[in-house]
Amino acid sequence: MERIIIDMDEVMADTMGAMFEWYAKNYGLPLDYSKMKGSWMLGIPDEHKDIVRQRLYSEGFFRHLPVMDGCIDVMDELNKKYEVFIVSAATEFPNSLRDKLEWLNEHFPFLSWRQLVLCGDKRMIAGDYMIDDHVRNLVHFKGKPYLYSTIMNKDDTGYERISNWQEVAEKLL
129 CA to centre of own chain: 15
**C-alpha span between 169 and 73 (Å, rounded):** 9
**Angle in degrees, 0-180, between the axes of helices 49-57 and 15-26, rounded to the nearest 10:** 130
| DSSP secondary structure letter of residue 13 | B
CA distances from 170 to 77, 86, 138, 165 (A): 12, 20, 21, 9
* Residues with catalytic function: 7, 9
